[in-house]
A = this chain, B = another copy of it.
Amino acid sequence: MTATAALQAFAPVPMPAIPVRDVARGNIAKFPTHCSSCGLRESCLPCGLSGQDVDHLNELVYTRRRLKRGESLYRAGDEFSSLYAVRSGFFKTVQTLEDGRDQVTGFHMAGEIMGMDGIGPETHICNSVALEDSEVCVIPYSRIENLGRDMHALRHQFHKVMSREIVREHGVMLLLGTMRAEERLATFLLNLSQRFTARGYSPSEFNLRMTREEIGSYLGLKLETVSRAFSKFQEDGLISVQQKHVQILDVAGLKRCMGQKSDEASRVSGNGMKIA
């Protein structure tokens, strides 16, 4: 922790105004909006917070911000001041290596929180880009810190959200470290399906918001490999895919794809059980 940061830690922290950057970028919602009346309350940061905290909750989110497709919510190097909850739309976060190589570290949809990687470094370390026209709730980090003092539940909930992000990344590490191309894509599709389901969309039919290249970047594969895997799944009757439109035809088949090495793929018995 830097000396400055240590000072900040003990200074009284006033409720912040809207961060200058956000105002400068325009697109601030005209009317402040509140968690308490938000349809995503149960799947977002305030998840699980009870009625008695509702009034406080409304202090959490001060503004929303709209982004057009392709626009950056924040960039690596930007000063960290707020977290962002996706209200609508779809984002990717991209981390860049000094030599120019980069990788998509996550895709984020409604109710998910972005920007937590900035708390430690006090600077955003990745870029967040809207993959379609989107809207986010701006949650000034100092609000979380302040409200967290009195709201045990919010404090705990916030810890959980960060912890889940760590767990998610463990899963990605496993995927990148141990899975083959088709397994990775199957895992990815099933994960998307599950997240869409949780938001009330169809579990079996959806439009991808990202390109093959972005999928590949996330999965540690080249776009051609992703494309081939899609084709293979279609040949095998597991999915139907046309450009960005995906329909999952055989969930069990996809699950079977996960967790098997290539030479096992052909030896799967008819009842769908893996051969031990």
Report the Cα distance A217→B176, complex, angstroms.
11
Chain B residue, CB-CB nearest to A95 = B170
Contacts of A98 in B (CB 8 A): 259
B10 and A153 contacting across the interface, CB-CB below 8 Å: yes
Interface residues on A, range: 35 or more
A97 and B173 contacting across the interface, CB-CB below 8 Å: no
From known contacts A9-B157, A159-B119, A160-B120, infer whether A99 and B259 are also in contact, taking CB-CB under 8 Å.
yes
Contacts of A170 in B (CB 8 A): 95, 105, 117, 125-126, 169
Cβ < 8 Å to B, chain A residues 147-188: 148-150, 152-153, 155-167, 169-174, 176-178
Q: Is A268 an interface residue (CB 8 A)?
A: no
- Which of B6, B118, B160, B178 contacts A1, CB < 8 Å? B160
Report the Cα distance A152→B119, complex, angstroms.
14
Report the Cα distance A5→B159, complex, angstroms.
13
Q: Is A249 an interface residue (CB 8 A)?
A: no
Q: Mark A25-54, 1 if CB is under 8 A from B, else 0.
A: 000000000000000000000011010000
Q: Which 8 A-B pairs have the closest CB atoms?
A: A1-B48, A177-B220, A120-B163, A99-B259, A119-B163, A176-B176, A120-B164, A169-B169
Known: A120-B166, A169-B169; 4 extra A-B contacts, CB below 8 A, are: A117-B163, A120-B160, A120-B162, A173-B173
